[in-house]
Amino acid sequence: MPHDTATGRVRLVGAGPGAADLLTVRALRAIEGAQALLYDALISTEVLALAPAACLKIQTGKRAGRTSMKQQTINKLMLRLARSGLEVVRLKGGDPSIFGRVGEEREFLQTHGVAVEVVPGVTAACAAAAQFGFPLTHRGEARRLLISTATVAGGEFLDASRAGAADPETTLALYMGRDQVQAIADRLIRQGRPAATPAIAVENAGHPDARGIPSTLGELAAVLDAARPTGPVILLIGDVTARAECATVVGAASTPRRASA
């Protein structure tokens, strides 16, 4: 039942992979107009700096394997701030509709009578491909892109065969899979994907310090372990990744100018 007091609005905004110049114009305007900003742990300081000085900023965590605010707490906090009449921005890395729990948050807020807008963002797979010079689909090599995560609800391991990830013409973009690489590779190989299939792990996709770690499906776990990444990693598996240019990083990040007052 809708609350009977005046409410503000909540925008569920995709911050992209990290660099401020990969924000959409709509996302930039939402951040610049925010009165309360609830942001995930991977949001860069240059993006946070775009919010008004008087904006209430609250970090919610949300980084794999680390302590974070419970989803129920985040929902209630957004609701309380909106009911205070504030323009609330819930800032999420990448695109909020890709492993960002946007469905849960939108449903909760709308059930309680709060207006919600979703603002899309550049997801890590797209940022990685653009930055390291390879396509996600390519005629004759990849006719399908599968975006997946290493686990499903309840922590069950991803069954690659159910999703068609073993198809040689599928580019697999695997989020939150750094600690599951060997198990994922073993399963894909058992399902018929050659161990020699090109693959790449990209650390900090979209950032100026991004690192591309090329390998093959069979060797990816060992190569990634030797590289010892400390930032967020996306795994991309498929023939198109052989086109990656890992000697240089394309497109250094810069802070976008604020819109004119």
Give the position of tokens 């009449």: 85
Instruction: Name the packing angle between helices 102-111 and 71-83 (round to 10°).
Output: 40
| Annotation marks residue 70 as catalytic | no
Which entry of 92, 95, 167, 176 is annotated as an active-site residue? 176
The tokens describing 190, both together, are: 């058992």
Which entry of 40, 95, 167, 239 is annotated as an active-site residue? 40
| Annotation marks residue 62 as catalytic | yes
Alpha-carbon gap, residue 62 to 83, rounded angstroms? 24
Secondary structure letter of residue 100 according to DSSP = S
Which entry of 62, 78, 167, 239 is annotated as an active-site residue? 62
Secondary structure letter of residue 93 according to DSSP = S
To the nearest 10°, report the CA torsion of 99, 12, 135, 224.
-40
Task: Answer yes or no: are the C-beta atoms of 105 and 118 closer than 8 Å.
Answer: no
- Tell whether the torsion through CA atoms of 77, 79, 84 and 88 is positive or negative: positive
Q: Within 13 Å, how many C-alpha atoms sit on residue 203's CB side?
A: 13
Active site residue ranges: 40, 62, 176
